[in-house]
């Protein structure tokens, strides 16, 4: 077995392995390498384990160099998770050891591995994030009847405001970005540049979908999903503040879930949340099951695990300032900041 750094010539074989591996996700696809390199100006390292010419394991990670947090590595940055996928534990270990060597060569402060599986006690681990997934029956009415009465009433109340959902692709990009710009500004979070999202739609045209919920013709809420195997992967969503009290988020989620079930998908992934947060509680209302995520770290000898926490007073002050800026200003300066926050 040999470990190589895969390039474009390996893309087809890489994606074939990812499509067949039960450990892999939408975020392991090779196309993310070009997206992160070209639209965010980061350096990607895509490790592949070969048995002869056959791929038997993959481990993509990205070097994120920034003035905010320094020289970091992440698998995968800006999205829900990543980590190694391998046919055997020995292959996984070899990929991790090669990643450790590259981390030293690149002088990374750390390599963060956002894994859905525990990778062993040899790597420090943070368990502050969870993943929420809803199993989908073929008939969405089965889901509807399983909701608590109060939850169904909230969804009905939302629809009484006349919201209408549209599904599509690139033709819905501008209303999607308009909504996300306001929504993330209100959260105090810089948003990625337009080219990042457009590149996703161009790179994965058959594996991405946008949903925009309208109120009297005005975009009110939106979501960006990935399609991988039998799973809908919820990546980004947001809503305009003036429609939140009208329960537009309930309409958006139900439209996404109902559409996924009707399209024959087996699972809807709500994305990750901080454990015991309001976000986790809201997603549980949809009867989503909770799975632990394991954020492991490859660290220089003697280094401690990073503690990047939005509750840190230093970051809270910056978040509060960001929330008060005009949306146009955050759209202009936000992308240069967002690319530095993995």
Q: 73 and 60 in contact (C-beta within 8 Å)?
A: no
Q: 92 and 47 in contact (C-beta within 8 Å)?
A: no
134 CB neighbour count, 10 Å cutoff: 20
Q: For tokens 């997603």, what's the residue?
A: 283
Domains, in order of start, for the chain: 2-130+294-303 (3.40.630.30), 137-265 (3.40.630.30)
Q: Which tokens go with 142?
A: 């089965």
In total, the chain counts a number of residues equal to: 342
pLDDT given at position 305: 82
Q: Cα(first)–Cα(last) distance of the chain, in Å? A: 31
Q: For residue 6, what are the CA distances in angstroms to 39, 45, 193?
A: 20, 8, 27
pLDDT in tens, the chain (342 residues): 899 999 999 999 999 999 999 999 999 999 999 999 999 999 999 999 999 999 999 999 999 998 778 999 999 999 999 999 999 999 999 999 999 999 999 999 999 999 999 999 999 999 999 999 999 999 999 999 999 999 999 999 999 999 999 999 999 999 999 999 999 999 999 999 999 999 999 999 999 999 999 999 999 999 999 999 999 999 999 999 999 999 999 999 999 999 999 999 999 999 999 998 999 999 999 999 999 999 999 999 878 888 766 556 667 788 888 899 999 999 999 999 999 998
CA distance 87 to 23: 9
CA distance 279 to 295: 19
pTM of the model: 0.93
C-alpha 100, offset from chain centre: 24
Q: Could you tell me where the DSSP H helices lie in the chain?
A: 11-20, 31-40, 89-105, 140-146, 149-159, 173-187, 194-203, 241-244, 248-262, 278-284, 313-323, 327-338
């Amino acid at each position: 077995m040999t470990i190589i750094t895969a390039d474009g010539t390996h893309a087809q074989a890489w994606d074939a392995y990812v499509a067949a591996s039960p450990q892999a996700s939408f975020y392991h696809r090779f196309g993310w390498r070009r997206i992160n390199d070209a639209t965010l100006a980061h350096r990607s390292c895509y490790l592949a384990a070969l048995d002869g010419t056959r791929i038997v394991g993959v481990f993509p990670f990205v070097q994120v160099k920034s003035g905010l947090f320094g020289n970091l590595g992440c698998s995968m940055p800006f999205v829900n998770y990543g980590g190694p996928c391998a046919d055997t534990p020995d292959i996984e270990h070899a990929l991790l050891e090669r990643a450790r060597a590259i981390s030293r060569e690149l002088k990374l402060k750390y390599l963060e591995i956002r894994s859905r599986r525990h990778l062993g006690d040899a790597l420090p681990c943070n368990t502050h994030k969870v993943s929420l997934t809803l199993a989908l029956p073929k008939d969405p009415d089965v889901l509807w009847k399983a909701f608590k009465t109060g939850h169904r009433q909230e969804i009905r109340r939302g629809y009484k405001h006349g919201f209408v959902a549209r599904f599509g692709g690139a033709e819905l990009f501008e209303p999607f970005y308009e909504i996300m710009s306001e929504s993330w500004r209100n959260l105090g979070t810089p948003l990625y540049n337009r080219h990042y999202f457009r590149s996703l739609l161009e790179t994965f045209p058959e594996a991405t979908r946008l949903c925009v919920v309208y109120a009297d013709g005005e975009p009110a809420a939106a979501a960006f999903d990935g399609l991988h195997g039998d799973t809908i992967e919820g990546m980004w969503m947001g809503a305009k503040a003036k429609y939140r009290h009208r329960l537009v988020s309930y309409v958006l989620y139900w439209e996404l879930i109902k559409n996924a079930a009707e399209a024959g998908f087996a699972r809807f992934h709500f994305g990750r949340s901080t454990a015991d947060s309001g976000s986790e509680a809201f997603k549980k209302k949809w009867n989503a099951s909770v799975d632990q995520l394991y954020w492991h770290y490859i660290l220089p000898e003697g280094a401690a695990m990073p503690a990047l926490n939005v509750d840190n007073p230093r970051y809270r002050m910056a978040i509060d300032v960001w929330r008060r800026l005009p949306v146009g200003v955050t759209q202009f300066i936000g992308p240069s900041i967002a690319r530095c926050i993995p």
